[in-house]
Amino acid sequence: MHRTTPLVTLELPLRSNPLSPVSDDEDERPVKRFYHYIPLCLAVSFILSPHPSVLIVLVNHHLKTLNSPLRFIIHLSCIYLLTFLAFSSLIVCIARDPGPATLEDQGSGQNDEDADISLTEALMGGQDQSLGPGRWCRKCQSSRPERAHHCSQCGRCVLKMDHHCAWMANKCIGHRTHPAFMHFLTSITLLSAYVTCMSGSALWYAFTNPFEMDDRTPLHMLFLFAEGFVFSFVIGSFLVYHIYLISTNQTTLENLSPFLLLRYLPPLPPSDDGQKLSNPPHEDELSFRQRSLIKAAHGYIRLYDIGWRKNWAQGFGWSRKWGWLYRLACGGGSRGDGRSFPRNPRADEMLVRLATELVKIDKNT
């Protein structure tokens, strides 16, 4: 008796969740290559690059020229303390999970048009209209908590996702790493400002007393002053922006994408001549006046702004007695579970007014 061989063999992939749909790239995340760590290596090199010149300036200027061991010890201690703090928070951002949105935390491929938005898509104005806040992520095939977003580069949903940072080993900044990220920005800004002031005073002394110093040390002073000034301005500006975001309880995604408000709109009021907009409305359905209204309302409707004191307590508060020491050392993570957040008591009323105005403009067009 001959055994017949089928012409076609169907091989179905095994799934961890039998209720989830079959996907060729299920349970596969984007693999990090060596070039993904190049920005991190550059960041570490930028932090370490001024230290040879710092030692040369401190030794030649404060020890040999000024003969002041006390100033030498103070400057050396402050610079290396700030460097240690910067590296401590950098390690936390790299080693700690930014916030898993699900227990299984399963990610899929990157080419899914029905997934949640990324930072680039937010800047371009695109969004997945079928997914409301705290509902479902089709890419992860799991529920998506409030303020969580799917990162296409990480292949997963992140709790209270702020942005995807290539400088942090190509990882996201989220609920559990945002305070550490703020700690890193603050440490780098203070370190750069301190080096700028220290080298600037030494450079001024070199110009006013040219015969008391060798020819090469002023070059190191000039290098430190220029590098410190540039990093103080660049990183300091980024730090000021994030201080504003924390004070108003926004993430970078929420601040840069005004059309995220469409997800939180209440049901639109009925119209006499028939509803032209979807419920909730899609961004591509909006007219120019409606889009302008959304952008204007975005500056006033802050869904999670509960006052700057409570906003900072939500991000940097601690429950233990000496918890502030941990915050000073490495920043730590935000309070709460990252899944539910108190709302601005005025936000619902303002969203109702916004929905009404959208319908009024829709009638006149």
Tokens standing for residue 106: 């399963």
Which range is least confidently modeled, 105-109, 155-159, 238-242? 105-109
CB of 151 closer than 8 Å to CB of 30: no
Reported pTM: 0.83
| Domain definitions of the chain by residue range | 28-99+161-249, 102-159, 253-364
Task: Tell whether the model's pLDDT for residue 121 goes beyond 60.
Answer: no
Binned at pLDDT 50, 70 and 90, residue 55 comes out as very high
CA atoms of 133 and 353, how far apart (whole Å):
19
* 226 vs 317, more confident: 226
SS3 assignment, position 22: coil
Residues 58-79 have pLDDT tens digits of 999 999 999 999 999 999 999 9
* 313 vs 8, more confident: 313
Which range is least confidently modeled, 2-11, 58-67, 200-209, 260-269? 2-11
Taking all residues of the chain, what is their mean pLDDT, rounded to a whole number? 83
Task: Tell whether the model's pLDDT for residue 252 goes beyond 60.
Answer: yes
* 6 vs 136, more confident: 136
CA atoms of 207 and 196, how far apart (whole Å):
16
DSSP 33-66: -GGGGHHHHHHHHHHHTTHHHHHHHIIIIIIIIS
42 half-sphere exposure, CB direction, 13 A CA radius? 9
Task: Tell whether the model's pLDDT for residue 197 goes beyond 60.
Answer: yes
Helix axes of 178-208 and 217-247: crossing angle, nearest 10 degrees: 150
* 166 vs 107, more confident: 166
DSSP state, residue 261: G
SS3 assignment, position 120: helix
SS3 assignment, position 275: coil
Q: What pLDDT shows up at residue 144?
A: 84
Task: Tell whether the model's pLDDT for residue 219 goes beyond 90.
Answer: yes
* 30 vs 37, more confident: 37
* 198 vs 103, more confident: 198
Binned at pLDDT 50, 70 and 90, residue 275 comes out as low
Which residue do the tokens 């409305």 mark?
281
- Mean pLDDT along residues 308-313: 94
Q: What pLDDT shows up at residue 113?
A: 35
- Mean pLDDT along residues 231-252: 96
CA angle 253/38/126 to nearest 5° reads: 25
Binned at pLDDT 50, 70 and 90, residue 324 comes out as confident
Which range is least confidently modeled, 25-34, 224-233, 276-285, 296-305? 25-34
Distances (CA, A) of 343 to 280, 303, 337, 340: 20, 6, 15, 9
Which range is least confidently modeled, 50-59, 98-107, 182-191, 248-257? 98-107
Closest CA to 301 of 267, 362, 259: 259
Task: Tell whether the model's pLDDT for residue 273 goes beyond 70.
Answer: no
- Mean pLDDT along residues 330-357: 90
Q: What percent of the chain is predicted at pLDDT more than 70?
A: 81
Binned at pLDDT 50, 70 and 90, residue 272 comes out as low
**Helix or strand (DSSP H, E) at 149:** strand 149-151
Which range is least confidently modeled, 11-25, 35-49, 240-254? 11-25
Which range is least confidently modeled, 175-184, 238-247, 253-262? 253-262
CA atoms of 344 and 258, how far apart (whole Å):
17
Residues 126-182 have pLDDT tens digits of 444 344 455 778 888 788 888 998 898 888 899 999 999 999 999 999 999 999 999
Bridge partners of 164, per DSSP, are 172
